[in-house]
Amino acid sequence: MEDIGGSSSNDNNNNGGIIKEQDRLLPIANVGRLMKRILPQNAKISKEAKETMQECVSEFISFVTSEASEKCRKERRKTVNGDDICWALATLGFDNYAEPMRRYLHRYREVEVDHNKVNLQEKGNSPEEKDDELFKLSNRGVGL
C-alpha cells in the first residue's frame, strides 16, 4: 500500500498541476492484486468490481489526503507527513484505522533507522536488504 501511494504521488509531481485521467485513479492491476490477496485461490474478480474498487479507494485516498492537506495549510507547512495522515483519519471518524496506522508508522520509522545504521556499516548489499525489509514490512502492514 505504501508503494502504491508513493507511485501516485510521484506521478502527480511529474505533471505539475494538470491531472491526467490515468493519474486520478490507482493502477487497476495493483488494485486487483490487493483484492486477490484476501480471496481464496480459485476466486475470480470481474473487471467491473476492480473498476468500482478503483474508484472507491482513489476517492478515499483523496478524501483523507485533503483533510491532512487542510491541516498543513492552516499550520503553514508544505510537507504532508505520516502523522498528518493519522491525524486526518482520527479527525474524520476512522478511529479503527488511525491506531493501526500509527503502529505501522512507528514500526516503519524503526526499520528506517535500522537501515540507516546498516547502510553506514555495510555499503555493498544495503539496497537488496532494504528492499526485502520494506517488502516484509509492507506485507505485515496489510496483515494489520
Partner 1 sequence: MLLLLLQFLQLSFILPMAMQTVYLKKHEGNAHNFVGTLSSAASAPWWSAFGSQSVHQGESCGQMKPFALELPNCIDQLAATKLSARGAEQVLGEGHTTQFTIFPDGCKMSDDAQKLQTTISLQSSLTDPHSRFEIGFSQPMLCAKYPYTDQFYGLFSAYAPQISGRIMLPLNMSSDDGPIYVNAKQYHGIIRRRQSRAKAVLDHKLTKRCKPYMHESRHLHAMRRPRGSGGRFLNTRSSINGNGKLGNEVHKTVGEQLQSSDSQSSEFLQSEVGTLNSSKETNGSSPNISGSEVTSMYSRGGLDSFSLNHLGSAVHSFANMIDGGRGMIIPPKWVAAAGNCYNLKV
- Which region, judged by CB under 8 A, interacts with partner 1, from 3-11, 71-79, 100-108, 116-124? 3-11
Q: In the range 20-39, which residues lie near partner 1 by CB under 8 A?
A: 20-22, 24, 27-30, 32-33, 36-37
Residue that the C-alpha cell 533507522 belongs to: 113
> Where are any strands of DSSP class E within 1-144?
none
Q: Which is nearer to partner 1, 33 or 103 (CB)?
A: 33
Given a contact cutoff of 8 angstroms between Cβ atoms, the answer to whether 54 and 26 are in contact is: yes
Given a contact cutoff of 8 angstroms between Cβ atoms, the answer to whether 83 and 105 are in contact is: yes
Minimal distance, residue 105 CB to partner 1, in Å: 18
Q: Which is nearer to partner 1, 3 or 122 (CB)?
A: 3
Given a contact cutoff of 8 angstroms between Cβ atoms, the answer to whether 112 and 133 are in contact is: no
